[in-house]
Amino acid sequence: MGSDRDAAVARVPLMRTTFASILLVASAVLARAADVAGNAENGRLLLRQYGCGGCHRIPGVEAARGNVGPSLEGIARRVYLAGRLPNTPENMVRWIVEPKAIHPGTAMPDLSVSEAQARDMVAHLYRLR
């Protein structure tokens, strides 16, 4: 639902038509950790299982002290993901599931994380304020 909506939004010229779709995204941005659907505890385990800590420092995840990519400390407050994507729970799910679709040149690998798993990971990551 999220990616369809975002894709639709991307085609709507902002100045010419309505802002209704933008507002949906806006409200998503303002979403707080509590609004993120997903099991944070399971997400924490998944972040370890998928080896995310090999590249990222992730508070709450054992041995996650990698410094290949940026630290995820305070990631819930970060404004952009992957250097360009507005940080919303939906966009974070998309980025984890299909990083190369968002940024073809990225060093972040496609780890075949399912959308449901990504949702749980995001629930944990959105606790890191």
Partner 1 sequence: MRLRSLAAIVVAGGAAAVASIVGLGLYDISATDQHLAPTYWLLDTSMRRSVALRAKRIDVPPLDDATKIARGGRHFDAYCVACHGAPGIAPEPFALGLTPTPANLAHTAREWKPADLFWTIRHGIKMTGMPAWKYRLSDDEIWSIVAFLRVLPTLTPDRYRREIGGRPPAATVVARTQRATTGDAARGKRAIHQYACATCHAIPGIVGANAPVGPPLEGIATRAFIAGVVPNTPATMIAWLREPQAFRPDGAMPNLGMSEADAADIAAYLATLR
Enumerate binding residues for partner 1 (CB under 8 A).
Answer: 10, 13-15, 18-20, 22-23, 25-26, 28-30, 55, 57, 67-71, 73-74, 77-80, 82-88, 103, 105-108
User: Within 10 A of 101 (CB to CB), how many other CB atoms are there?
Assistant: 11
Return the closest-CA partner of residue 111 out of 48, 33, 42, 60.
Answer: 48
From the CB of 104, what's the least distance to partner 1, in Å? 10
From the CB of 77, what's the least distance to partner 1, in Å? 5
Query: Which residue number, 39 or 71, has a Cβ lying nearer to partner 1?
Result: 71
CA-CA-CA-CA torsion sign (84, 86, 2, 11): negative
Residues 18/6/85/63 CA torsion (nearest 10 deg): 150
From the CB of 75, what's the least distance to partner 1, in Å? 8
